[in-house]
Amino acid sequence: MILKKINRITAITAFVFITLSCEHGISGNKQSAFDNSKKSASKKETLLPIPPLLKGRRNKKGDILFSLTVQKGESEFFNNMKNSTYGYNGPLLGPTIRARRGQLVRIKVKNTLREYTTVHWHGMLVPGIMDGGPHQVIQPDGEWNVYFRINQPAATTWYHPHGIGTTAVQVYMGLAGLFILDDEVSDRLNIPKDYGKNDIPLIVQDKSFTSYGVLIYLRSMRDVMEGMKGDTILVNGVVSPVLNVTASKYRFRLLNGSNAKIYNFRLSNDRPFYQIASDAGFLEKPVKMNNLRLSPGERAEIIIDFSGYKEKDYLYLASDNYFMLKFKVGQKIKDTTEIPAKLTNIMRIPKEMSSRSRIFNLSGMGHNVNINGRKMDMNYINEYVKYKNVETWVISSNTGGMMGMMRTSGVFHNFHAHGIHFQVIERSKSAVPENEKGWKDTIFLDRGETVKVITRFLYKGIFMYHCHILEHEDNGMMGQFKVE
Ligand SMILES: [Cu+2]
pLDDT of residue 17: 40
SS3 439: coil
Q: CA-to-CA distance for 374 and 368, rounded, in angstroms?
A: 10
**Residues bordering ligand 1, an ion, CB closer than 5 Å:** 413, 467, 469, 472
pLDDT of residue 449: 95
DSSP state of 477: -
CA of 260 to the centre of ligand 1 (A): 8
CA of 396 to the centre of ligand 1 (A): 11
Q: CA-to-CA distance for 331 and 145, rounded, in angstroms?
A: 47
CATH architecture of residue range(s) 2-183: Sandwich (2.60)
The rounded average pLDDT for each run of 10 residues, N- to C-terminus, in the chain (484 residues) is 39 40 29 41 80 95 95 94 97 98 97 98 98 98 98 98 98 98 98 98 97 92 91 97 98 98 98 98 98 98 97 97 98 96 97 98 93 98 98 91 54 96 97 98 96 98 98 97 98
Equal CATH topology for 199-332 and 351-483: yes
Give pLDDT tens digits for 324-339: 999 999 999 999 999 9
Q: CA-to-CA distance for 25 and 164, rounded, in angstroms?
A: 30
CA of 418 to the centre of ligand 1 (A): 16
CA of 104 to the centre of ligand 1 (A): 34
Contacts of 138 (CB under 8 A, 6+ apart): 70, 109, 111, 116, 117, 118, 119, 144
- CATH topology for 199-332 is Immunoglobulin-like (2.60.40)
CA of 346 to the centre of ligand 1 (A): 29
Number of residues written out for the chain: 484
CA of 451 to the centre of ligand 1 (A): 15
The full set of domain ranges for the chain reads 2-183, 199-332, 351-483
Instruction: State the sign of the Cα–Cα–Cα–Cα dihedral 440, 442, 446, 447.
Output: positive
Reference 267, options 284, 282, 288; nearest CA is 288
CATH architecture of residue range(s) 351-483: Sandwich (2.60)
Task: Give, for 179, the enclosing helix (H) or strand (E).
Answer: strand 177-182
CA of 478 to the centre of ligand 1 (A): 9
pLDDT of residue 411: 87
CA of 413 to the centre of ligand 1 (A): 4
pLDDT of residue 400: 60
Contacts of 238 (CB under 8 A, 6+ apart): 46, 48, 49, 77
Longest dimension (CA), the chain: 64
pTM of the model: 0.91
CA of 474 to the centre of ligand 1 (A): 10
